[in-house]
Amino acid sequence: MRVHQPVYRRSPVIAVAILLATSIFLNACITTGSLDNSEEPASGDAARRVSQNFYSPFFDQGDHLAKLVKGGNFDDAATLFGEQTAYFAIPKNRKDNNATLRRIAAKFNGPIASALSQHLKALSVIQSPLPVNKWANTKSLIIRSKNTASNYPALAILRDLDFRLASVNLISEETRRVTNLLERYINVAIDNFDHFGELSFFDAYPISVNSRQALGHNFDVLAEKVDKATAKELEQY
């Protein structure tokens, strides 16, 4: 007598569930934080890595970013962007997370944007020869402009041209323009300066000047001024 073994057929529902689980697993492997091509933190910051080791279609890098921003944790959000630049560089992901990314950028751009705008406006009107009574303010403005630009947060999201303040590059260019302008007019400034007053030219001029070179180029001009000076002026020289 033949004994029939029971035949077990896989339910279509179970088969679909298995396929779905497999798909989720493969997608999660693709989006895992440990398999991206993003910027790695410096060795000293390795312990502060924000990315999860595992992402899925149900909670991806964009969801993680939004969660951090919603909780007001902008520092970690900026770090996550740096760790996941490859993910956020994908056009669809960039578009889907654009509002969140702009909130992060605005958080760090806001405090510096006003100062940059003011410095740019002040630098843009500087022409040369510059009157002596404007030297002190110009010198201070150049220093403040350089410091403001150099203090711009060194974050991956702010190196991205979509979120970087254009005025950061503009102020560097404008500072160079003013500096070059002042360099070209050093000899004119030396000729017009009152060398018998209370101020030292090399201390007062808005930019650093090579005194030996400047004196050498203007020896005849300075010698003539000394020849025409009064005894009182010579005492102050």
The pLDDT, as a whole number, for residue 217 is 79
The pLDDT, as a whole number, for residue 157 is 97
| 72 conformational bin, left if phi > 0, alpha if psi -120 to 50, beta if neither | left
- Residues of the chain with pLDDT > 90, as a percent, come to 59
Q: In this model, does residue 42 exceed pLDDT 70?
A: no
What is the full DSSP assignment across the chain?
-PPPPPPPPPPHHHHHHHHHHHHHHHHHHHH-GGG--SPPPPGGGGGG--S-S--BTTB-HHHHHHHHHHTT-HHHHHHHHHHTHHHHHSHHHHHHTHHHHHHHHHHHHHHHHHHHHHHHHHHHT--SSPPGGGHHHHHHHHHHHHHHHHTS---HHHHSTTTS-HHHHHHHHHHHHHHHHHHHTHHHHHHHS-TTSSS-HHHHSSS---HHHHHHHTHHHHHHHHHH--HHHHHH-
Q: In this model, does residue 62 exceed pLDDT 90?
A: yes
Give the count of beta carbons closer than 10 Å to the beta carbon of residue 12. Answer: 8
Q: Kindly calculate the radius of gyration of the chain based on its CA atoms and give it in whole angstroms.
A: 32
Q: pLDDT tier at 206 (50, 70, 90 boundaries)?
A: very high
Distance of CA 14 to the CA centre of its chain: 53
pTM, full prediction: 0.70
* Structure-token pair, residue 4: 């029939």
Q: In this model, does residue 6 exceed pLDDT 70?
A: no
The pLDDT, as a whole number, for residue 35 is 43
Q: pLDDT tier at 79 (50, 70, 90 boundaries)?
A: very high
Q: In this model, does residue 3 exceed pLDDT 60?
A: no
Q: What average pLDDT does the chain have?
A: 82
Annotated domain spans of the chain: 12-96, 112-236
Lowest mean pLDDT among 42-56, 124-138, 174-188: 42-56
pLDDT in tens, 149-164: 999 999 999 999 999 9
pLDDT in tens, 85-129: 999 999 999 999 999 999 999 999 999 999 999 999 999 999 988
Q: In this model, does residue 26 exceed pLDDT 50?
A: no
Q: pLDDT tier at 4 (50, 70, 90 boundaries)?
A: low
